Structure 1
Amino acid sequence: MELSGVGIWSQELRYGDAAEAAEAAAELEELGYSALWVPDVGGPVFDAVGRLLAATRGTVVATGILNLWMHEPADAAASHAALTAEHGARFLMGIGVSHAPLIDHEEPGRYRRPLAAMRGFLDGLDGAAPPVPAAERVLAALGPKMVELAAGRSRGVHPYLVTPDHTRAAREALGAGPLVLPEQTAILSADADEARAIGTGWLKAYLALPNYANNLLRLGFSHEDLDTVSDRVFDALIAWGDEEAIKRRVDEHRAAGADHVCLQVLTAEPSAFPRKEWRRLADALR
């Protein structure tokens, strides 16, 4: 399974109205987006993947990410096998370890040794009947140890909330061959105040999660950048402006070694499908 071009990362496709999600997926395929990515915080994620696969003909549908604490490997492998049998090899299983505050909220102390947990989950996928092929799974790798694991046990990496500098480091670590599939958040507004109003609260919630915070500190941002959601960190993580500004950021990831970039578009209506913005960006990205 190869990925190129630009995809869409969307919580609306997972949690929004199912009929509109299917309609939007079909349109996104027609617009030329090569993959659709959906998040997972538990629940029937494979049902959502199946609906999007059924609504499209050739587009890859990916989990960004499958939360390994919330699924059993054997069940995930069985769902992968069933979806692949029905729709062909179009389901890319992105797998991640999530964050301690989210996992420990319901069961304190459950989140421990995330690298070992990922190895165990991959062992379970390999041992299932049938297994999930390494070529049809990627890891949400931010730090160097998870990137190294991804190189040996999957098709590549799907890092979320990263910069082109992180993409470059991932490509250098992985070498040629493995896929580098970063998520890039975007706001279609050339007004700085409007972009800030849309994105600051959203970004602040992520910066409070230790895995993202630690990754950004490794990239050279300061604790003050994260605590205040500085202009520096905002502009580095969220591409905002007109279509050309978003395209420039996508091109920066590609120049840094990305095979595919998935865009997450934020608007002033966080629960609405940003279909107008998806159309505008498709025209610019062709």
Structure 2
Amino acid sequence: MHIVNGIAQIWAREARWTYGAALLLADAYPDRHLLGLGFGGDPRPGTTPLKAMRTYLDEMDGLETVNPVPKGGVRRILAAYGAKMLELARDRAAGAQTYHVNVAHTAEARDLLGPDRRRQAALPRGRGRRPCRRAGDRHRARPDGDAPLARTRRRPRPRRVLTGMQPIGR
């Protein structure tokens, strides 16, 4: 099982603090933790999300630490929608995570990322325990294609569900 904390906003903390926390979690959960990074929130004057993400990744990659680096290293994924951000995720991260996208976007993202990169999709849910019936809901099928079996074996969800539509965690 892989642990993804969600997507941390790059505006919320400096790269050195994010990197330190990611080292700690990667050491505590070897080969299970993925660091999610995104640019969500209010726009920043004088920069674009792509430029800001590149700068942030450059800062993280350039850091040296006195702490031991975990055997598996720090794996990261990027919140990515557009082609350029997906390409950055392919080149500089373990993959990408998208939120509330349709099936066509998922196919394009898969093609851009390539077969050796992770692609995760967070999907909307309907009220209560039933999944909503949107185009993106088709992702709920199992990798082997047995969707009816996936519906019968899905894991129970927590009762409390965030109702906001803000896709990027703080």
Q: Decide: shared fold, TM above 0.5.
A: yes
Residue 77 (structure 2) pairs with residue 159 (structure 1): no
* Residue 160 of structure 1: how far off its partner (Å): 1.1
Normalized per residue, the structure richer in helix is 1
- The residue type paired with residue 141 of structure 2 is D
Residue 90 (structure 2) pairs with residue 127 (structure 1): no
Residue 107 (structure 2) pairs with residue 168 (structure 1): yes
Q: In the alignment, which residue of structure 2 is the partner of 1:13?
A: none
Contact 2:23 2:74 in 1 (8 A): no
Residue 37 (structure 2) pairs with residue 112 (structure 1): no
Counterpart mapping for 1:62-141 below 5 A: 62-98=4-40, 102-104=41-43, 109-110=44-45, 112-130=47-65, 136-141=75-80
Moved over 4 A (4+): 130-135, 252-255, 269-272
> 2: distance between equivalents of 1:139 and 1:254?
26
> 2: distance between equivalents of 1:159 and 1:189?
21
Q: In the alignment, which residue of structure 1 is the partner of 2:121?
A: 182
> 1: distance between equivalents of 2:53 and 2:73?
13
Q: In the alignment, which residue of structure 2 is the partner of 1:250?
A: 140
Percent of aligned positions that are identical: 27
Q: In the alignment, which residue of structure 1 is the partner of 2:3?
A: 61
Q: In the alignment, which residue of structure 2 is the partner of 1:231?
A: none
Contact 1:93 1:138 in 2 (8 A): yes
Q: In the alignment, which residue of structure 1 is the partner of 2:149?
A: none
User: C-alpha deviations, 1:65-111, integer Å up to 9, x for none?
Assistant: 1101111111111111122223323220111111xxx325xxxx447
- The residue type paired with residue 17 of structure 2 is D
Contact 2:90 2:114 in 1 (8 A): no
User: C-alpha deviations, 1:250-273, integer Å up to 9, x for none?
Assistant: 128887xxxxxxx9x798x6459x
Find the residue that maps to 2:125 and give its secondary structure. strand
Report the CA distance shift for 1:254/1:236 in structure 2 as closer, same or farther (over 3 A).
farther
User: C-alpha deviations, 1:132-186, integer Å up to 9, x for none?
Assistant: 9886001111000001111110111111111222111111112221111111122
TM-score calculated relative to the size of structure 1: 0.44
Consecutive unaligned residues of structure 1, counting only runs of 5 or more, are 1-33, 35-59, 196-233, 240-247, 256-262, 273-286
